[in-house]
Structure 1
Amino acid sequence: MFKNDYILDMVESLGKNIGKSLTGKKEDGEKISIENLSDKDMLMIILKKMVIDKKYNEAENTLFEIVNKIKDIDFTEVGEWFYNELSLKKDEDLLENNFLRDEIKQGLKDFRAINSRRRG
């Protein structure tokens, strides 16, 4: 598992914000119990937060780091979601955040190649 203080803080913050959004309340929402999250769930939460923060390169690096580190989990759904989400971004948004549309295509190709090798 790849849990650390940074990830805990991100998950707790995201949980609070989701709680606030869903309830319309201004006070803190419920915390997400990190013990109940799988590595796949945690990666999805982290990538969603990074995409919201427009940290596309950092998110892609995180995706590949985790996929290469944790080999016994199928992250196909997470990777496909990530690259689909990036493909929906406007070119201006991608460029402003140092990411190119060609990187989306290449990243998805690389991600799929890694997954196909893992499944053997």
Structure 2
Amino acid sequence: MFEQDYIMRKIRNLVRFLARTFLNKDEVTYELPILEEYTKTDYIHKELIILLEQGKINKAENLLFENLDTDNKRYMELALDFYERLNNFEDDFLEENNFSREEIEEGLKEIFNKFKVPNFFN
């Protein structure tokens, strides 16, 4: 239990660090615009939410990385929102869907690498 709480805090800190550093935000929540103005990232966000609700976490993470555009900060926001949402799931939900807090942390570190951010949290 203590170890899981530690990992959750570590993930939360990683997300906040990236949000403050690259998005100038204290919290990250990907917000959708009016439907007629949807961008590619907005459609990906909607699909990620659907997959997460269905418990298809691995498929959602694959979708995120397959579409990642490191030249666009909206993708950083999308990725941070995704991992923050994952981190907020209960351990039972993650376990039932073959995912772990460690995998969330690994995914975030991969985001660090893809966006060429030094990782100070090893």
Same-fold status (TM-score > 0.5): yes
Instruction: Tell me if the contact between 2:51 and 2:60 (Cα under 8 Å) persists in the aligned partners.
Output: yes
Q: Which residue of 1 aligns with 2:58?
A: 57
Q: 1:85 to 1:73 in 2, by over 3 A?
A: same
TM-score (ref. length: structure 1): 0.62
SS in structure 1 opposite 2:42?
A: helix
More RCO (CA 8 Å, sep 6+): 2
SS in structure 1 opposite 2:99?
A: coil
Q: Which residue of 1 aligns with 2:99?
A: 99
SS in structure 2 opposite 1:116?
A: coil
Q: Which residue of 1 aligns with 2:72?
A: 73
Instruction: Tell me if the contact between 1:40 and 1:73 (Cα under 8 Å) persists in the aligned partners.
Output: no
Measured against aligned partners, the alpha-carbon deviations of 1:20-56 in whole angstroms (never above 9, x if no partner) come to xxxxxxxxxxxx55xx310111111111111111111
Instruction: Tell me if the contact between 2:70 and 2:76 (Cα under 8 Å) persists in the aligned partners.
Output: no
TM-score (ref. length: structure 2): 0.61
Q: Deviation above 4 Å: which 4+ runs of structure 1?
A: none
TM-superposed deviation, 1:60: 0.3
Question: Which has the larger Rg?
Answer: 1
Distance 1:113 1:43 in 2: 21
TM-superposed deviation, 1:111: 1.1
TM-superposed deviation, 1:61: 0.4
RMSD: 1.5
Q: Which residue of 2 aligns with 1:37?
A: 38
TM-superposed deviation, 1:116: 2.2
Give the gaps of 5 or more residues in structure 1. 1-31
Does 2:54 match 1:46? no
How many residues matched? 82
Q: Which residue of 2 aligns with 1:23?
A: none
Distance 1:71 1:110 in 2: 12
